[in-house]
Amino acid sequence: MSAVTSTRVVLAARPHGEPTTDNFRIETAQVPSPADGQLLLRTVYLSLDPYMRGRMSAAESYAEPVEVGDTMVGATVSQVVESRSPRIEPGAYVLAYSGWQSHALVDGNAVRVLDPDRAPLSTAVGVLGMPGFTAYSGLLKIGRPQPGETVVVAAASGPVGSAVGQIARIRGARAVGIAGGPDKCAFVRDELGFDAAIDHRAPDFAEQLKAAVPDGIDVYFENVGGAVTAAVLPLLNLYARIPVCGLVSQYNAASMPEGPDRLPGFMGLVLTKSLTIRGFIQSEFVQAMYADFERDATRWIGEGSLKYREDVVDGLENAPTAFLGMLHGKNFGKLVVRVGPERA
Amino acid sequence: MSAVTSTRVVLAARPHGEPTTDNFRIETAQVPSPADGQLLLRTVYLSLDPYMRGRMSAAESYAEPVEVGDTMVGATVSQVVESRSPRIEPGAYVLAYSGWQSHALVDGNAVRVLDPDRAPLSTAVGVLGMPGFTAYSGLLKIGRPQPGETVVVAAASGPVGSAVGQIARIRGARAVGIAGGPDKCAFVRDELGFDAAIDHRAPDFAEQLKAAVPDGIDVYFENVGGAVTAAVLPLLNLYARIPVCGLVSQYNAASMPEGPDRLPGFMGLVLTKSLTIRGFIQSEFVQAMYADFERDATRWIGEGSLKYREDVVDGLENAPTAFLGMLHGKNFGKLVVRVGPERA
């Protein structure tokens, strides 16, 4: 097979503060034929996730940054165009980590084969993939909601938040979701079945949140930071747990915000309320919990107790704009880019 | 027996910010004869502990505040003067919670009888009491030091910090203590056997701390807050644990400190380092761990692997000044007030 041309989105420059489309550049490159053990993939769906903002920066983090000039990283659902791996047939669909590009060469051992009859392919990067597992592992391992307790989560119409609230309810807890705007709140309450949904854009957001948690908050699943966290803190109960999986509201901050310094007060609250704060990346729990997650989530989706919504953007060239919008909550559901058709 | 006169220290006024001796007042009162089931106690040792600063304030906390005009609370080693409890003989020594006073009436079921031959009586409010158990439970349950890991603790010559570091070493970890001044540092290193001791008053404290933890910090046992915490944070390793049992450096703060606001950066660190921050009060772990603590601590003291130092102040009338000094680290070892002689 002759070489294919891959379209890709590279990091053109590191952002200082708020990123713009100027931080990205679209390029094309020839992809050589696969070597022994390799696969040539064409991307069907590219997952866009908040953690990618961290990869654009050189600051120390839990993962290496993307180098300037390199292809942006990301999980994909891809189809095998050509295989030199004995275990994978051409035409198979795989979960890969081949980034913001239309085609890629990957090691055959670095992908997981997907069953297209089990669930829609895009769910492999959503409710049945990393975001769903982030919700499942962080909530059950760190949050540990008990029946009758109150769980609060922001970005509640998004892929992590929507699963957090629904799994909390499956475990017998009350779920209160925070989302941006009346449409998302209606979806969270009426479609996902949360006990309450609060619009963080409302001028009386903090009062509404307080009214929605008459028994206080036992688990706050932290994925946004900022004003939502500030409203949550005074409502935390003794022994409340805060799994921290993201802080999307502050990823674009270029410097420390002005005072007063709230850290001493926060530590005082940790002490007087015997709080547990625990940062995590879902990969930490894969070995211990992923098999349970796949079994449980598949069953819950089949039973209708775990619903999800996707926001599909067409065309790799639209990935930068879609990604920048996501950092401000413009997506409604799990954001994926349809890079190519499911069936070529 | 005729009524006895009790001398007591009451809360004269709530402090705003830094407390002074004007916040206390010495009074005398007649103590009636014990009713059925009660004991009349005379105080031998009164324990002075940083948590008492919190009880002087009306702010919400994990325990009720002392009311203005009421006797200051605190643990005591007391001797039974008169008993109307069938289980306790006159002359027995008990661990009580009868506060800053020379005599008290207490319920016979609210005390624990001490064996004066097992260990010095004063250790019941020190290394074999609440401070020792705070160190033991917080370090082993939350900090979970592994062999070869590095544990850092401040107030390292004090009753909690000294036990934290020594128990860390017993568990095979490296112990780095922080203390105020060369005498305390020498004691921590040479007498208690910590691997290193750093003077937080040194102008290059942060650099010295960094040099003392070449492999980073896996457990930071938080009991002070402030500048020590600020120096520790950049040195924390992935998956580091921070048991929070006290924040003595900030107990006297009357308002939020000036900016910048360090809370967003702290939460970012929690996320990127997958940190665990856990506030606790030792009482949470009594049921699960106290018997183990008594067995282990008694054995370690006997073997010489758990040493302790006491700072004994004579006379109840000196309790306010000694307490105020403790909030600034003026004590050297566990601070106790000898209210009366061991043998009356």
Decide: residue B111, CB within 10 A, 0-12 exposed, 13-18 middle, 19+ buried.
Answer: buried
In angstroms, rounded to a whole number, what is the distance separating the alpha carbons of residues B327 and B335? 11
Token pair, residue B9, equals 């220290």
Q: Quick check: A263 and B258 CB within 8 A?
A: no
Chain A contact for B17 (CB, 8 A cutoff): no
* pLDDT tens figures, A110-152: 999 999 998 999 999 999 999 999 999 999 999 999 999 999 9
User: Smallest Cβ distance to B258: which of A257, A259, A269?
Assistant: A259
- CB neighbour list of residue A133: distance below 8 Å, 6 or more residues apart: A282, A285, A286, A289, A290, A293
User: Smallest Cβ distance to B256: which of A62, A226, A265?
Assistant: A265
Residues A167, A303: contact at Cβ < 8 Å? no
| Helix, strand and coil in chain B, % to nearest 5 | 35, 25, 40
In angstroms, rounded to a whole number, what is the distance separating the alpha carbons of residues A247 and B306? 42
Q: How confident is the model at residue B213 (pLDDT cuts 50, 70, 90)?
A: very high
Residues of B in contact with A266 (CB under 8 A): 263, 266
* pLDDT tens figures, A73-119: 999 999 999 999 999 999 999 999 999 999 999 999 999 999 999 89
Chain B contact for A245 (CB, 8 A cutoff): yes
Q: How far apart are the first and last CA of chain B?
A: 16
* pLDDT tens figures, B248-261: 888 777 777 888 99
In angstroms, rounded to a whole number, what is the distance separating the alpha carbons of residues B243 and B164? 11
Mean pLDDT of B197-208: 97
Would you mind telling me the total number of residues written for chain A in this entry?
344
Choice between B58 and B223, residue whose per-residue pLDDT is larger: B223
- The DSSP line for B271-329 is HHTT-EEEE--GGGGHHHHHHHHHHHHHHHHHHTSS---EEEEE-GGGHHHHHHHHTTT
User: Smallest Cβ distance to A257: which of B256, B264, B280?
Assistant: B264
Q: How confident is the model at residue A344 (pLDDT cuts 50, 70, 90)?
A: confident
Residues B215, B208: contact at Cβ < 8 Å? no
Q: Quick check: B271 and A229 CB within 8 A?
A: no
Chain B contact for A275 (CB, 8 A cutoff): yes
Helix (H) or strand (E) holding B226: helix B226-232
**What are the CA-CA distances from residue B275 to residues A233, A328, B109, B198, B236 (Å)?**
19, 26, 41, 24, 8
The pLDDT of residue B133: 98
The pLDDT of residue A2: 55
Residues B324, B149: contact at Cβ < 8 Å? no
- The DSSP line for B240-272 is EEEEE---GGGTT--SPPPSS--HHHHHHHHHH
Token pair, residue A187, equals 């979806």
Which regions of A69-195 does DSSP assign to beta strands (E)?
Answer: 76-83, 93-96, 103-107, 112-114, 150-153, 174-179
**Residue A46 DSSP code:** E
Order of all β-strands in the sheet with B236-244: A196-199, A174-179, A150-153, A217-221, A236-244, A276-279, B276-279, B236-244, B217-221, B150-153, B174-179, B196-199
User: Smallest Cβ distance to A262: which of B225, B263, B270?
Assistant: B263
* pLDDT tens figures, A287-341: 999 999 999 999 999 999 999 999 999 999 999 999 999 999 899 999 999 999 9
The pLDDT of residue B344: 78
User: Smallest Cβ distance to A257: which of B226, B260, B279?
Assistant: B260
Residues of B in contact with A276 (CB under 8 A): 276-279
* pLDDT tens figures, A24-81: 999 999 998 999 999 999 999 999 999 999 999 987 666 789 999 999 999 999 999 9
Q: Which CATH number fits domain B130-302: 3.90.330.10, 3.60.9.10, 3.40.50.720, 3.40.50.10420?
A: 3.40.50.720
Can you name the residues that pair with A230 across neighbouring β-strands? none
Can you name the residues that pair with B236 across neighbouring β-strands? B217
In angstroms, rounded to a whole number, what is the distance separating the alpha carbons of residues A182 and A184? 6
Mean pLDDT of B298-324: 96
The pLDDT of residue A58: 83
Token pair, residue A16, equals 């200082």
Which residues of chain B are in CATH 3.90.180.10 domains? 4-126+309-338
Q: How far is B298 from chain A (nearest CA, A)?
A: 28
- Report whether the peptide linkage leading into residue B260 is cis, meaning its omega lies within 30 degrees of zero: yes
The pLDDT of residue A256: 80
Using H for helix, E for strand and C for coil, what is the string for B43-66? EEEEECCCHHHHHCCCCCCCCCCC
Q: Quick check: B284 and A262 CB within 8 A?
A: no
Residue pairs spanning A and B at CB distance below 8 A:
139
Q: Quick check: A229 and B267 CB within 8 A?
A: yes
In angstroms, rounded to a whole number, what is the distance separating the alpha carbons of residues A239 and A219? 9
CATH number of B4-126+309-338: 3.90.180.10
Q: How far is CA B199 from the centre of its chain?
A: 20
Q: How confident is the model at residue B118 (pLDDT cuts 50, 70, 90)?
A: confident
Mean pLDDT of chain B: 95
Residues B62, A238: contact at Cβ < 8 Å? yes
Q: How far is A170 from chain B (nearest CA, A)?
A: 26
Chain B contact for A257 (CB, 8 A cutoff): yes
Residue A208 has pLDDT above 90, yes or no: yes
Which segments of chain A does DSSP mark as H helices, in order?
51-55, 130-137, 159-170, 182-186, 205-212, 226-232, 263-272, 286-303, 319-326
Token pair, residue B101, equals 């006073």
Decide: residue B117, CB within 10 A, 0-12 exposed, 13-18 middle, 19+ buried.
Answer: exposed
Q: How confident is the model at residue A183 (pLDDT cuts 50, 70, 90)?
A: very high
ipTM at complex level: 0.92
Which residues of chain A are in CATH 3.40.50.720 domains? 130-302
User: Smallest Cβ distance to A274: which of B256, B260, B284?
Assistant: B284
Chain B contact for A286 (CB, 8 A cutoff): no
**Residue A304, CA atoms < 13 Å, CB-side half-sphere:** 2
Chain B contact for A270 (CB, 8 A cutoff): yes
Give percent above pLDDT 90 in chain A: 89
For B:118-177, CB contacts with A below 8 A are: none
Q: Quick check: A275 and B273 CB within 8 A?
A: no
Residues of A in contact with B254 (CB under 8 A): none
* pLDDT tens figures, B2-60: 568 999 999 999 998 899 999 999 999 999 899 999 999 999 999 999 999 999 998 76
Q: Quick check: B260 and A262 CB within 8 A?
A: no
Helix (H) or strand (E) holding A7: strand A4-11
In angstroms, rounded to a whole number, what is the distance separating the alpha carbons of residues A3 and A19? 34
Neighbours of B132 (CB within 10 A): 30
